[in-house]
Amino acid sequence: MAEATAAYKVIGTRPVRPDGADKVTGRAIYGADMRLTGMLHGKMLRSPHAHARIKSIDTSKAKALPGVRAVVTAHDMPKAEDRMANLGEMAVNVKHLSNNALAYDKVLYRGHAVAAVAATNVHIAEEAVGLIEVDYEVLPAAIDVLDAMKDDAPILHEDLKATELGQQTDKVSNVVNHFQFKLGEPGTGFEEADVVIEREFDTATVHQGYIEPHNATAMWNEEGHLSVWTSTQGAFVVQRQVAEVLGISVSQVSVTPCEIGGGFGGKISVYLEPVAAVLSRQTGRPVKIVMSRIEEFEGTGPTPASHIKVKIGATNDGRIVAAEAALMYEAGAFPGSPVTAGAMCIFSPYAIPNMQVDGYDVVVNKPKTAAYRAPGATNAAFASETIIDEIAEQLGMDPLEIRRLNGAKEGDRQVHGPTYPRIGYLETVHAALEHEHYQSPLTGPNRGRGVASGFWFNVGFQSTVVINVNSDGTVSLVEGSTDIGGTRASIAMQAAETLGIPYEDVKPTVAGTDGVGYTDVTGGSRTTFATGYAAYEASQDVIRQMRERAAERWNRESEEGDSAAQLAADDVSYSDGVFRCAKDPSKTMTFKEMADMMPRTGGPITGRATSQPRGVGGAFATHVVDVEVDPDTGKVSVLRYTATQDVGTAIHPSYVEGQIQGGAVQGIGWALNEEFVYNKDGSMVNASFLDYRMPTTLDLPMIDTVLVEVPNPGHPYGVRGVGEVPIVPPPAALANAIYRATGKRMKNLPMSPTYILSQLEQE
């Protein structure tokens, strides 16, 4: 067990997570565990084609199957408006959201849902799905981003006009948005450069790979109220999406978040919830739908494949003077790839006076992409960090030294405009440079060491926390943030620290939309920061009430003794779990005593706070990796891995380390093996975990972590979001390591054995 830092009693310790026992014993309730009286089971019919017009759907045979209670298509849903809806954390086009849940007139990717069945058991539902007859007019498909950008490419949306540099045009195109960021004069900057390197890169579509598939159970009751139980990163965002798609008020929808088996950004958008709701409305019974793993791959949102061009120039003394990039990201079937974030992050670690980044959001006949841990940033960093490495090599510089020389710090301007607040990028580089891993020699044939850095934003958004004081001096904390990665613990620890009570005396509960105030998704590395901020404020609210009650009680006691003392709350201090009278040191009361006296001092005490905090602190990471490449097979073995990261203040160091290790491992999988493999007609041919190769413990060394603590001044405890940035550096770090092992620069992800062999064979 680590000791708390000198400044804190709870923060910095490593207590047991409150949800741990339930999860390891199987008591935790996940969405697939839902059982309701009279519940029906739903199944989806999905498109076998990547692009086709739906000419007709005949559901009569399916409906006639005994046990089938309902069959629905998009025509059973309200016709969605073509408008953007603000969902708090994000805005979505309601029509696209609805048409992604059930295709309206066209299917836009293989796996696109076309119809749904509710039946008395899942086997009947599956059989009924096979009886639905769909007449398709198969259309040519645009599978690859560069192909989809061509003028003669098959068009996915005939009604979608391209936006060019902020202005809508009349051009119908798969390139739905082209935007640009510019800082300084890149042309002039490149003229000053002694070394200019320009390369193009491709990255493949990858999936978040969460263990638990999407699921939804819906019950639309006779009073017109819809209850939804689901696996989600944000119950309120599901509530809003469902209400928008079904054309009802948010007050008609209650969402209960079940325990979540991983999300990584993939469990924000709704897929099954509106469909289960419509099936429930038609049947008058609760309906549960659980996706299979194949449906997960073919029918949910992966992170995009991309094509990226990067050009960087530096002077002979190692100063980077100009950088340009063009990022072309696949949005999938509907607009909205994370290309803007990729464009904002691609040069983030560096203070470069002249930069231009162009971004292109391109629809293709693949599933609509979703967020995935630092969405957009990993693709971008693979390209930029590879070239930084190459420039360092050409200049004869250490690859970490060039990063230290050019590293961004407080006050430096980002490509999209704002300057950085206090950040800790240089500290991560320094930690990597000084680390025993980097200082130790790497010997042996076919081995190489690589480094890379990365950045991801944090966001604030909205959170609510309520703290109810119990008579025994413990508190029950109610929050709306789905617990991912131990956030029950990290929120409870901030409350315990503020309240001056033991961590074990805080009982955290995640509530649904009927149980707590509005709270945005667990995403954007925001939860420990923003919901933690609300927990801090709610705890302060409890203390404020207790100080008022202590003053009032001591005033009454004084009156009994004919004393004229008139204490106010300001005369009562609180520290280390004890309230003290500033004017009379003999008067003290502990937190537990105050809790016990609640019935005699005014009744229950409930602290509450909402937060929409500013002062978010961005997160930087620098990774070091050693590899060995088998020249005969192309297989890459990861020998050693060290991740340094500015984590602000590590509330629960074990969970921070876990986030870093998990992110790094996902990045390693993205780098070396993971990809959606498509054939020419747009069918994914590896839609199972047998064929979609994620790394296992047998593929990995221990991921060593270095927690660099540069507290964020925008949070009372210095919290920065830590969950996303660790996925950003791995592909570039591995590419740079593979280069040193093989002499070949990697330009494609994944760097699979097949790809590496193809590069080794090139002279």
Partner 1 sequence: MATVFIPAMLQSLTDGATQLQVAGNTVRALINILEERFPGFKDRLLQDGDLRPDIAVAVDGEFAVDLIERVHPDSEVHFVPPISGGV
Segment lying near partner 1 (by CB under 8 A), choices 69-77, 142-150, 622-630, 721-729: 721-729
**Closest distance of CB 680 from partner 1, Å:** 31
Residues 178-207 that bind partner 1 (CB under 8 A): 179-182
**Least distance (Å) between residue 695 CB and partner 1:** 18
Interface stretch with partner 1, choices 59-67, 139-147, 365-373, 699-707 (CB under 8 A): 365-373
Please pick, from the candidates 111, 186, 209, 263, the single residue that binds partner 1 as defined by CB under 8 A.
263
Q: Give the C-alpha separation, 100 to 366, whole Å.
A: 11
Residue 424 to residue 373: CA distance in whole angstroms: 20
Number of residues engaging partner 1 in binding (CB under 8 A): 51
Query: Phi and psi dihedrals of 621, rounded to 5?
Result: -145, 150
Query: Minimal distance in Å, beta carbon 89 to partner 1?
Result: 5
Out of 524, 667, 695, 750, the only residue in the binding site for partner 1 (CB under 8 A) is 524
Give least dist CB 659 to partner 1, A.
8
- Give the DSSP letter string of 20-78: HHHHHHT-S-BGGG---TT-EEEEEEE-SSSSEEEEEEE-HHHHHSTTEEEEEEGGGSP
Q: Are 482 and 522 in contact (CB under 8 A)?
A: yes
Radius of gyration for the alpha carbons in the chain, expressed in angstroms and rounded: 28
Residue 208 Cβ vs partner 1, minimum distance, rounded to whole Å = 8
Piece of the chain touching partner 1 by CB under 8 A; list 127-135, 337-345, 567-575, 594-602: 337-345
According to the binding rule CB under 8 A, does residue 232 interact with partner 1?
no
Does residue 737 contact residue 450 with C-beta atoms inside 8 Å?
A: yes
Give the Cα separation of 734 and 547 in Å (integer).
56
| Chosen residue from 323, 426, 484, 732 binding partner 1 by CB under 8 A | 484
Residue 419: count other Cβ atoms within 10 Å of its Cβ. 10
Task: Provide CB contacts within 8 A for 626, sequence distance 6+.
Answer: 437, 442, 447, 448, 449, 638, 639, 640, 641, 737
Interaction of residue 334 with partner 1, rule CB under 8 A: no
Q: Are 269 and 241 in contact (CB under 8 A)?
A: yes
Spatial neighbors of 26 by CB under 8 A, at least 6 apart, are: none
Quick check: 374 binds partner 1 (CB under 8 A)?
A: yes
Selected range binding partner 1 among 17-25, 177-185, 561-569, 701-709, rule: CB under 8 A? 177-185
- From the list 172, 132, 154, the residue with the least C-alpha distance to 53 is 154
The per-residue DSSP string of 303-347 comes to: BPPEEEEEEEEE-TTS-EEEEEEEEEEEEESSS--THHHHHHHTT
418 binds partner 1 (CB under 8 A): yes
For position 667 contacting partner 1 by CB under 8 A, the verdict is no
Residue selected from 18, 42, 302, 375 as contacting partner 1 according to rule CB under 8 A:
375
Instruction: Rule CB under 8 A: say whether 167 interacts with partner 1.
Output: yes
Find the part of the chain contacting partner 1 (CB under 8 A) among 36-44, 83-91, 98-106, 433-441. Answer: 83-91
316, 195 in Cβ contact below 8 A? yes
Pairing relationship of beta strands 475-479 and 463-469 according to DSSP bridges: antiparallel
Among 566, 573, 612, 679, binds partner 1 (CB under 8 A): 612
Q: Tell me if 614 contacts partner 1 by CB under 8 A.
A: yes
CB of 91 to partner 1, least distance (A): 3
Provide, rounded to whole angstroms, the least separation between the CB of residue 334 and partner 1: 14
> Rounded to an integer, what distance in angstroms lies between the CA atom of residue 61 and that of residue 129?
10
Of 203 and 458, nearer to partner 1 (C-beta) is: 458
Closer by beta carbon to partner 1, 659 or else 673: 659
Q: How far apart are CA 335 and CA 92, in angstroms?
A: 10
169 is an interface residue for partner 1 by CB under 8 A: no
Which listed range, 12-20, 608-616, 624-632, 672-680, lies at the site for partner 1 (CB under 8 A)? 608-616
Site string for partner 1, 377-416 (x = CB under 8 A): ---------------------------------------x
Residue 658 tokens, joined:
């876990």
Quote the CA–CA distance of 175 and 177 in Å, as a whole number.
6
Please say which residue, 132 or 344, places its beta carbon nearer to partner 1.
344
User: In this structure, what DSSP letter does residue 699 have?
Assistant: G
In the list 201, 329, 456, 676, the residue contacting partner 1 (rule: CB under 8 A) is: 456
Interface with partner 1 includes 609 (CB under 8 A)? no
For the bound state, the minimum distance from the C-beta of residue 195 to partner 1, rounded and expressed in Å, comes to 26
Give the whole-angstrom CA distance, residue 750 versus residue 748: 6
What is the binding site for partner 1 (CB under 8 A)?
A: 84, 86, 89-91, 165-167, 177, 179-182, 208, 263-265, 340-341, 344, 356, 371-375, 416-419, 421, 456-460, 484-485, 521-526, 612, 614-615, 659, 721, 723-724
